[in-house]
């Protein structure tokens, strides 16, 4: 049997075009800005406490007993099996910078002494459970009717700041132009937009104490000089 001559075979046509020029795909170049945009899109949105089930109400308590009253109410909720009606009881807190023995220290203080925030589905049962808790005076409202807080109020009181959007802190400078009895406007923080009367000035700590009308009651609030502006 004669061996076939390998050179006699005609080439088989390449179905994809063997003779076609090879085209390399251009590399995809992603700029830093696009990478940053993708990273931002992938980040989970910050939950607003306002969007949780129920509504937020302000409850007036005996001042100085907020923690005990909260414990009383939470025990009452558990014993009465009202977890589906009354969801959360909060003492609004804030970090305050103080100077102690010449040293700067950050301490946690109650925003509104004598008040709690309660998140609940308000009906006759939940209203009575809260109202009859030892140490609670009443719901804050108008005409005897409890009024829920709005979204901006809830977020000002409870929303944790977005660390990625925080501005660089401004250093407080001594400003001795304030006078007791003067009305000032609060520029920033939970009380931003409120106005009130200065009842005390602490020039050593660069702070003023302002009487602000909160929930229909005048409440003293301690603020740094940089947080208030003269009218």
Neighbours of 27 (CB within 10 A): 6
Confidence (pLDDT) at 197 = 92
| 72/109 same-domain check | yes
The domain spanning residue 56 has which CATH number?
Answer: 3.30.70.940
**Helix pair 66-79, 124-131: axis angle to 10 deg:** 140
Q: Are 222 and 201 in contact (CB under 8 A)?
A: no
Residue 31: band (very low, low, confident or very high) from pLDDT cuts 50, 70, 90: low
Q: What average pLDDT does this structure show over 130-139?
A: 94
Running DSSP on this structure, what letter comes out for residue 6?
Answer: G
Q: Name the least confident of 15-29, 158-172, 198-212.
A: 158-172
* Domain-located, residue 57: yes
Does residue 37 surpass a pLDDT of 60? no
| 149/191 same-domain check | no
Residue 61: band (very low, low, confident or very high) from pLDDT cuts 50, 70, 90: very high
Does residue 64 surpass a pLDDT of 80? yes
Burial class (CB in 10 A: 0-12, 13-18, 19+), 90: middle
Q: Dig out the tokens for 81 from the structure.
A: 């099996």
The domain spanning residue 212 has which CATH number?
Answer: 2.30.30.30
- Give the residue from 139, 223, 155 showing the smallest Cα distance to 188: 223
Neighbours of 68 (CB within 10 A): 13
Boundary (domain end) residue, out of 122, 157, 192: 157
| 147/204 same-domain check | no
Does residue 87 surpass a pLDDT of 90? yes
* Domain-located, residue 37: no
Q: What average pLDDT does this structure show over 192-213?
A: 85
Q: Is the pTM of this model over 0.75?
A: no
* Domain-located, residue 170: no
Q: In what order do the strands lie in the sheet with 217-224?
A: 217-224, 207-214, 195-202, 183-186, 228-230
* Domain-located, residue 219: yes
Q: Are 144 and 196 in contact (CB under 8 A)?
A: no
Strand segments, DSSP code E, in 128-193 are 136-139, 141-142, 145-146, 183-186
The proportion of the chain whose per-residue pLDDT surpasses 70, expressed as a percent, equals 70
Residue 69: band (very low, low, confident or very high) from pLDDT cuts 50, 70, 90: very high
- Give the residue from 197, 207, 209 showing the smallest Cα distance to 175: 207
Residue 177: band (very low, low, confident or very high) from pLDDT cuts 50, 70, 90: low
| Residues spanned by the domain of 213 | 183-230
| 152/65 same-domain check | yes
Q: What average pLDDT does this structure show over 150-171?
A: 60
CA 96, 99, 104, 108 dihedral sign is negative
| 55/131 same-domain check | yes
Please name the helix (run of DSSP H) or strand (run of DSSP E) that holds residue 158, with its range, or none.
helix 151-158
Length, in residues, of the chain:
231
Report how many domains make up the chain: 2
Q: Determine the Cα angle at 138 with ends 67 and 134, to 5°.
A: 50
* Domain-located, residue 118: yes
């Amino acid at each position: 049997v004669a061996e076939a001559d390998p050179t006699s075979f005609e080439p088989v046509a390449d179905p994809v075009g063997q003779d076609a020029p090879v085209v390399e795909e251009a590399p995809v170049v992603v700029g830093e800005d696009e990478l940053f945009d993708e990273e931002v899109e992938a980040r989970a949105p910050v939950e607003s406490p306002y969007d949780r089930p129920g509504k937020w109400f302000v409850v007036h308590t005996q001042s100085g007993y907020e923690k005990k009253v909260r414990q009383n109410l939470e025990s009452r909720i558990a014993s009465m099996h009202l977890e589906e009606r009354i969801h959360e009881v909060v003492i609004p807190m804030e970090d305050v910078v103080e100077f102690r023995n010449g040293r700067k220290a950050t301490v946690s203080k109650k925003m509104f002494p004598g008040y709690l925030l309660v998140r609940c589905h308000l009906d006759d049962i939940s209203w009575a459970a809260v109202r009859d808790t030892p140490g609670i005076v009443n719901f804050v409202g108008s005409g005897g009717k409890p009024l829920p807080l709005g979204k901006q109020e809830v977020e000002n009181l409870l929303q944790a700041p977005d660390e990625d959007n925080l501005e660089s802190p401004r250093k407080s400078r001594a400003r001795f132009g304030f006078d007791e009895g003067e009305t000032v406007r609060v520029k920033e923080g939970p009380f931003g937009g409120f106005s009130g009367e200065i009842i005390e000035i602490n020039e050593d700590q660069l702070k003023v104490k302002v009487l602000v009308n909160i929930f229909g009651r005048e409440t003293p609030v301690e603020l740094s000089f940089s947080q208030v502006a003269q009218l």
